[in-house]
Amino acid sequence: MAQRWWLRRGARWALVSLWLVACDCDGDPVGPCDRDDAPTGCGTSCDDAPCRSGLYCADDDLCTADCMGDADCGDGERCDPEGRCVATTTPGTDFAVEPRDGSTDGCPSATVSARRVTPTVIVIVDQSSSMNQDFGGSSRWDSLRDSLLDPGDGLIATLEDQVRFGLALYSAEAEGGSAGPPIGACPQLTEVRAMVGNYEAIRDVYEAADPIDETPTGDSIDAVLDGWLATPDRPTDPTIFILATDGEPDRCEELNPQRGQDEAIAAVERAFGNDIRTFVISVGSDVSTAHLQAVANAGLGVGGGAEFWVAGDDEGLRDALTAIIGGELSCTVELDAALEDVSEACRGTVTLNGRELPCDDPDGWTATDADTIELQGEACDELMRTPGATLSATFPCDVGLI
């Protein structure tokens, strides 16, 4: 599966970083991984597995970090998500420029630097009692949970360092299955805040939970959305909701019968209006195709034809989740400045981890339009398998960036 990265205006990544080195009481240097507050996983092997968030894979194939916060870096630098000190942009400038002849009045070449785009994926799980129904030898509830949390190939387990995962379990209780008011809070919502490296936190909450009763989908999506919009300093990277449900929705005002379709669609439309796309998976075949299609359309802001998934077994669930999350990850790189003439793109230089990539090459890069390049073949593979990868693009001044 590929990853989406995008280029932002900013100075070139600083490849030489400084850690504030301390000494132990005998005078011996204390390295990054010897500090009491070193990140979890510091010093572990990255030969076969990627480093955790906050670390990068060093030349000795060990996970390390040069910083844990901006205070560990020098003037004009910040600490990036992989624990490297990188140059910051000069206030008021769109991107860093460096004269080709080393002077201040020569023809400048514009360099824009890369950072990893880390999508936020909040999985909203129907916790209704029907999730206990058989699902190919397991229950719907257990199959969905395992497809996300299985240590070997569960989506959250394998992608926790590349995706900010969050979880929301939702339900409500109706006394005796009546159409009257709910018992207690509605919706009953159990959430795990979205962040990188969130597998253990999600596992602990998810494994302790069991199906409850009803399906107030619209109320629950609204509540999740309200919480996300109120999150201080929430990331600007793309955010999606994955709605996994096995029945027609009801609503807190009327838990029975299931008449919450319009409210659910309205909640998804509201999320889209806040730049959050919603993808829907039916766990089993009890949700009407018409409702699934309406939710899918609203989730992508289209009039019809949006894709949705109906999973009949564990394999179907895994395929659906892989398709949705995989669609958020690619080797496409967006430039924060557009080329005046895309046919001149190959006059620029793109480097990955300090290595210059060939242009218009099946194992290099190509410009797909004025503000987008795509890494291909071996370059794409390297980008995917290198958590601390650095990517930069430089274009001569006479090529022109808009």
151 found inside a domain: yes
Q: What region, left, alpha or beta, does residue 165 occupy, with left being phi > 0 and alpha being psi -120 to 50 degrees?
A: beta
In this structure, the number of other CB atoms found within 10 A of the CB of residue 227 comes to 15
Classified as helix, coil or strand, 63 is: strand
Residue 52 lies in a domain: no
Digitized pLDDT (tens) for each residue of the chain, 402 residues in all:
322 233 322 222 222 222 323 334 344 445 667 777 677 778 888 776 777 767 888 878 888 888 877 778 877 677 776 778 876 533 322 223 233 333 333 444 566 555 556 889 999 999 999 999 999 889 999 999 999 999 988 999 988 988 899 999 999 998 766 666 788 899 999 999 999 999 999 999 999 999 999 999 999 999 999 999 999 989 888 999 999 999 999 999 888 889 999 999 999 999 999 999 999 999 999 999 999 999 999 999 999 999 999 999 989 999 999 899 887 777 777 777 778 888 888 988 888 888 899 999 999 999 988 878 889 999 888 877 665 567 888 888 777 666
317, 311 in Cβ contact below 8 A? yes
Amino acid at 115: R
Confirm whether 230 is domain-assigned.
yes
Cβ contact 255:214 at 8 Å: yes
Q: For residue 388, is it within any domain?
A: no
| Beta bridge mates, 112 | 393
Q: Of 159, 125, 155, 124, nearest to 140 (Cα)?
A: 125
How many domains does one find in the chain? 1
| Six-digit token string for 87 | 């140059």
Contacts of 87 (CB under 8 A, 6+ apart): 10, 11, 12, 13, 14, 76, 77, 96, 113
Find all residues with CB under 8 Å of 114, minimum gap 6, and list them.
5, 6, 7, 8, 13, 333, 390, 391, 392, 393
**Domain range for residue 248?**
120-326
On whether residue 363 sits in a domain, the answer given is no
Query: Residue 382: enclosing H or E segment and its boundaries?
Result: helix 377-385
Q: What is the CATH number of the domain that holds 145?
A: 3.40.50.410
Return the residue matching tokens 């420029």.
Answer: 97
Q: Is residue 273 part of a domain?
A: yes
C-alpha to C-alpha distances, 80 to 65, 160, 239, nearest whole angstrom: 10, 18, 20
Dist CA 85 CA 67 (whole Å)? 7
pTM (global) more than 0.85: no
For 176-247, strand residue ranges (E) read: 188-195, 239-245
In-domain check, residue 241: yes
Q: How high is the pLDDT of residue 135? A: 93
Query: How far apart (Å, rounded) are the C-alpha atoms in residues 293 and 280?
Result: 9
Nearest C-alpha neighbor of 388 from the set 37, 55, 10: 55
| Structural domain includes residue 133 | yes
Tell me whether strands 332-334 and 372-375 are parallel, antiparallel or unpaired: antiparallel
